[in-house]
Structure 1
Amino acid sequence: MEALINYLLQFGHLNQQQIDLVKSKGVLRELKKDEYYAEAGKTPREIAFLTEGIFRVCYYNKQGEEITKYFIDENNFVVDINSYNQNIPSSEYIHTITDCRMIIFSKEAMQELSMTIIGWDVIISKITAKGFAEKVNKISTMMAEDATERYLNFFTKFPKLANRIPLSYLASYLGITPSSLSRIRKNISS
């Protein structure tokens, strides 16, 4: 829980009573590798704060190919925020790449925190804005790069993730085939 509290405090002030309330609303949950936290077609009813592990957010294109949109690692919130806020089914899957531990907040718990803690909505708004900005930055920089640059930039920006993600998922995220990724890796190491 301390990682969650430290994260929240980056975005606003909470007194000890408010911190205790946040802790009381969080429920610990574990998922094993290769399980789904969320599935397309279902409406999200909770938000998770990932304390250990890696999630992969993916979808299926019109050809039925699985496409990795991005990865989420420790000390980040996990939810399809548009579906959650609009109460509509998600178009994404959230899949565990590793064993994961998280703190879960139900929609009801989030509403209670919003009604009880002055400034809670501002904190959540700042976290959401940061998440959107990071997502846009990931996508916009990748669009102008060739495959080798995307690969090298991934390793530069996400050194903690690089060796924890299966190569097939990394290739999908980079928008290349696994064999292209193998060639790029071979060319870089030689």
Structure 2
Amino acid sequence: MNELIEYILQFGNLNKQQIELIRKSAIEKKLVKDEYFSEAGRVPKQVGFVVEGVIRGCYYNNKGDEITRCFITENNLVVDYVNFESNNVSSEYLQACTDCTLIVFSKQKWEELSYTISGWNEIKNRMVYICMYQKSRKGPIISQDATTRYLEFIENYPSLTNRIPLSYIASYLGVTQQSLSRIRKNIR
């Protein structure tokens, strides 16, 4: 829980009572590898903070291919916020790539913080902006060659190559696993 509080305090000041209210509003949740935090076809009902582990955002294209859109690592929020906020059905999955420990707020508890903590909306908006920016900016640029995309992946996610399945990295880069293996072999 301390990791979450430290994260939140980057975006604004809170007194001891407000911090205690946040602590009481959240629960710790464990996800095992491959378990979903939220699923396509359902309305997202929770906001999470990754304490340990890696979560990926993915969807299926019109050909039925699984596409990994982003990775969410420790000390980051995880939520399909647009659909969470608007109570709409999601079109993406948020899935644990590794066993994960999260601190989770239900929609009700997340909204209650806005009513009870002065300045929470400003703090929340800053956190959500960072969350959405990270999910959007780290996608590979498909017009780049695959080696360049892989090198950028390593730069953006230096600790992930040995933590998550290569199939997820290949999906993120838009290449086959065989192509990714060749790229990795040529770089070494």
Any conservation in 1 of the 2:138–2:156 contact (CA below 8 Å)? Answer: no
Aligned to 1:36: 36
SS at match of 1:186: helix
Distance in 2 of aligned mates of 1:106 and 1:159: 31
Distance in 1 of aligned mates of 2:49 and 2:130: 15
- Matching residue's letter, 2:36: Y
Aligned to 1:180: 179
Q: Which has the higher helix share?
A: 1
- Matching residue's letter, 2:177: P
User: 1:57 offset after TM fit, Å?
Assistant: 0.9
1:54-112 residue CA offsets vs partner (Å, 9 max, x unmatched): 11111111111111111111111111111101100100111111111111101111111
Aligned to 2:5: 5
Distance in 2 of aligned mates of 1:98 and 1:177: 21
User: 1:136 offset after TM fit, Å?
Assistant: 3.4
Where do 1:111-126 residues align within 5 Å? Answer: 111-126=111-126
Distance in 1 of aligned mates of 2:50 and 2:99: 11
Aligned to 2:132: 132
User: 1:187 offset after TM fit, Å?
Assistant: 1.0
User: 1:143 offset after TM fit, Å?
Assistant: 4.0
Aligned to 2:74: 74
Percentage identity across paired residues of the two chains:
51
Q: TM-score with structure 2 length normalisation? A: 0.96
Aligned to 1:149: 148
SS at match of 2:103: strand
Aligned to 1:108: 108
Where do 1:17-36 residues align within 5 Å? Answer: 17-36=17-36
Aligned to 2:45: 45
Distance in 1 of aligned mates of 2:31 and 2:48: 12
- Matching residue's letter, 1:115: Y
After superposition, the CA RMSD in angstroms is 1.2
Any conservation in 1 of the 2:57–2:69 contact (CA below 8 Å)? Answer: yes
Distance in 2 of aligned mates of 1:42 and 1:131: 20
1:140-183 residue CA offsets vs partner (Å, 9 max, x unmatched): x6245211011011112211222111111000001111111011
Q: TM-score with structure 1 length normalisation? A: 0.95
Which consecutive segments of 4 or more residues in structure 1 shift more than 4 A? Answer: none
